[in-house]
A and B are shown apart, each in its own frame.
Chain A
Amino acid sequence: MHPTWVIAKRELAGYFDSLVAYILLIVFLGLTGLFTWLIGADVFLRKQADLQVFFEVAQLTLLLFIPAITMRQFAEEKRTGTIELLLTKNVTNRQVVLGKFLSCLLMVCIALLFTLPYYITVANLGNLDHGATLCGYLGLILMASAYISIGLFASTITNNQIVAFLLSLFIGLAFHFLFDAIGSGMTGWFGSFFKMLSISNHFDSISRGVIDSKDIFYFATIILLGLFLAEWNIGKRD
């Protein structure tokens, strides 16, 4: 078995062995389900067969959910010293980072998999735009990957899980709201630069059903940069 996969499997099993996975799944499905079906501008109020509300709530829930699953990845290993044992095994720093990334991504994918009943139900209620919905899911996965790589990076710079959580939440919030707000308040190249940095803008563009290479390039850059910084961080040790 490939070492990356061995690490991913162990981490994923760890989420399910502790209560973390169940709590997060219940919170994620509860929040998205509540807003999609029961309260606020839900499907029945809007009389629109789409998953627009689900995607909006899912974005925000993932923004919180992901720092909670990435925070322990390196911070806990550094605190207990198991990182030394792990990195002296027959693995490279990159394999360790990728394995942990994969486990978090699988965790998010499992959560998204449980929302398939929403998709099936809405598709039966009316004329659902399947292309746009699939793009919405793709957007969520790309966005989640970006937050995971930011979260992993935050986890490598501290051995305190709470610090890692807050730091990745803060960076996530900046990418989600702050950059867009700054961008909207300014004009010229400076404003468009910050608008370009905003994750939500790129997510919206994908979830409308248009897969632009610019958006893919944007997410790929954040993901790779986060993973690279995480790898670099665990590589420098005394």
Chain B
Amino acid sequence: MDISIQNLTKTYGFQKAVDNISFEVKTGEILGFLGPNGAGKTTTMKIITGYIDGDQGEVFIGGKAVKSGETKRHIGYLPEHNPLYTEMPVIDYLAFCASIQGMDKGLIPERIRYMVRVCGLDAEKHKKIGELSKGYRQRVGLAQAMIHDPEILILDEPTTGLDPNQIVEIRELIKNIGKEKTVILSTHILPEVEATCDRILIINKGKIVADGTAATLRKQAQGQQVLQVRIEDGSTNDIFEKLRALPSVAMVDILDQAANRFEVQSVQDAASNRDVFNLCVKNKWALTEMVPFETRLEDIFRDLTLN
């Protein structure tokens, strides 16, 4: 089932939380929703789930407007602070969620057993939710979102409060689910987006500022290659001058004079690594280090959202 968001706008007072955004998510795609605090991620997700209405624009799920109310049963939703009925035991709560979603009564016990196993809740299943630690509550939140096997999963920060092992498990789980379903997840953890998502959407101040895979975003942001090199057997100044003279090199920085380490920036859309190597061979210098410097997602994120 596809999600299609068309010219969505939502205003709170004078502030535009979501400003005329449009995007689509296809079946089998996991979309990572990024943005600084207050960028409009949660608002957008709430509108997709039908909890609040946008002021302008429409959201369609599988061709049906969210406003019609017919899309709710296809959605599994984990809200921002993972609100749960703390006085209920885990099993009873999952049974309640399954039956309110209109699941066939005969299928519910089997489905609960499956979700309890997948989410690693076996030891805690008879406890009251209020007695669980944050990580286990988060698992209950994920279990309730997926209990009715929805076509669409909307997860607002699904891995907060989990320990590193659990994070890996939950990521795997989301990845597996994402093969057949449509998943939108928001997060602040950038490596998580790279590990889990097929596509990244960055929004800032209610507007989409980037949309693509991690690789395409890097390419867009970078354009030039940055190398860290260490060259021995030559004088620092000599090496510096000769590196600068290379046609593919735009800028050279001396990082460490004693160890002869340099940072070499290529000109736009070119790579300088072969030239640097050939230069060393020609001058009989020993090239002992050459590390291509990848633009980190963090830097892209900062570039796009700090202005």
Q: Which residues of A contact B (CB under 8 A)?
A: 1, 3, 6-7, 10, 13-14, 17-18, 80-82, 84-85, 87-92, 237-238
| A90-B102, A92-B69 known; A238-B12 Cβ under 8 A | yes
CB <8 Å contact, A81 and B96? no
| Stretch touching chain A among B73-81, B118-126, B241-249 | B73-81
| A17-B87, A81-B83 known; A87-B99 Cβ under 8 A | no
> How far is A12 from B136 in the complex, measured between Cα atoms in Å?
26
Nearest B residue to A99, CB-CB: B100
| A18-B87, A85-B79, A90-B101 known; A6-B49 Cβ under 8 A | no
Interface flag for B293 (CB, 8 Å):
no
Instruction: Sample 25 A-B pairs with CB under 8 A, ordered by A number.
Output: A1-B99, A3-B102, A6-B99, A10-B96, A13-B92, A17-B88, A80-B83, A80-B86, A82-B83, A82-B85, A84-B83, A85-B79, A85-B83, A85-B84, A87-B51, A88-B72, A88-B75, A89-B72, A89-B97, A89-B100, A90-B100, A90-B102, A91-B72, A92-B69, A238-B52
CB distance from B71 to the nearest CB of A (A): 10
Interface flag for B50 (CB, 8 Å):
yes
Q: Mark B32-47, 1 if CB is under 8 A from A, else 0.
A: 0000000000000010
Nearest A residue to B96, CB-CB: A10
CB <8 Å contact, B72 and A90? yes
Nearest A residue to B105, CB-CB: A1
Question: Which 10 residue pairs are nearest across A and B when measured between Cβ atoms?
Answer: A81-B83, A90-B73, A82-B83, A88-B49, A6-B100, A90-B72, A88-B77, A6-B99, A90-B101, A89-B100
Of residues B84, B85, B100, B105, which shows the largest number of chain A Cβ atoms within 10 Å of its Cβ? B100
Q: Which residues of B contact A (CB under 8 A)?
A: 12, 46, 49-52, 69, 72-73, 75, 77, 79, 81, 83-88, 92, 96-97, 99-102, 105, 144, 148
CB <8 Å contact, A85 and B87? no
Give how many A-B residue pairs fall within 8 Å (CB-CB): 58
Of residues A1, A13, A90, which shows the largest number of chain B Cβ atoms within 10 Å of its Cβ? A90
Q: Which residues in B have their C-beta under 8 angstroms from that of A88? A: 49-51, 72, 75, 77, 79
* Extra 15 A-B pairs, beta carbons < 8 Å, given A82-B84, A84-B51: A3-B102, A6-B96, A7-B100, A17-B87, A81-B79, A81-B83, A85-B83, A88-B50, A88-B51, A89-B101, A90-B73, A90-B101, A91-B72, A238-B12, A238-B52
CB <8 Å contact, B81 and A81? yes
CB distance from B148 to the nearest CB of A (A): 8
> How far is A108 from B73 in the complex, measured between Cα atoms in Å?
33
Of residues B83, B84, B97, which shows the largest number of chain A Cβ atoms within 10 Å of its Cβ? B83
CB distance from A98 to the nearest CB of B (A): 13
> How far is A87 from B46 in the complex, measured between Cα atoms in Å?
11
CB distance from A93 to the nearest CB of B (A): 10
Q: Which residues in A have their C-beta under 8 angstroms from that of B75? A: 88
> How far is A7 from B85 in the complex, measured between Cα atoms in Å?
13
Q: Which residues in A have their C-beta under 8 angstroms from that of B87? A: 14, 17-18
CB distance from A62 to the nearest CB of B (A): 25
CB <8 Å contact, B51 and A237? yes
Nearest B residue to A82, CB-CB: B83
> How far is A81 from B96 in the complex, measured between Cα atoms in Å?
17
CB distance from A12 to the nearest CB of B (A): 12
Q: Which residues in A have their C-beta under 8 angstroms from that of B77? A: 85, 88
> How far is A92 from B50 in the complex, measured between Cα atoms in Å?
11
> How far is A1 from B106 in the complex, measured between Cα atoms in Å?
11
Q: Which residues in B have their C-beta under 8 angstroms from that of A80? A: 83, 86
Q: Which residues in A have their C-beta under 8 angstroms from that of B83? A: 80-82, 84-85
Q: Which residues in A have their C-beta under 8 angstroms from that of B12? A: 238
Q: Which residues in A have their C-beta under 8 angstroms from that of B92? A: 13
Q: Which residues in B have their C-beta under 8 angstroms from that of A81? A: 79, 81, 83
Q: Which residues in B have their C-beta under 8 angstroms from that of A13? A: 92
Q: Which residues in B have their C-beta under 8 angstroms from that of A3? A: 100, 102
CB <8 Å contact, B81 and A91? no
Q: Which residues in A have their C-beta under 8 angstroms from that of B81? A: 81
> How far is A7 from B144 in the complex, measured between Cα atoms in Å?
16
Q: Which residues in B have their C-beta under 8 angstroms from that of A238? A: 12, 52
Q: Which residues in B have their C-beta under 8 angstroms from that of A89? A: 72, 97, 100-101
> How far is A18 from B75 in the complex, measured between Cα atoms in Å?
31
> How far is A6 from B52 in the complex, measured between Cα atoms in Å?
23
CB distance from B16 to the nearest CB of A (A): 13
CB distance from A191 to the nearest CB of B (A): 45
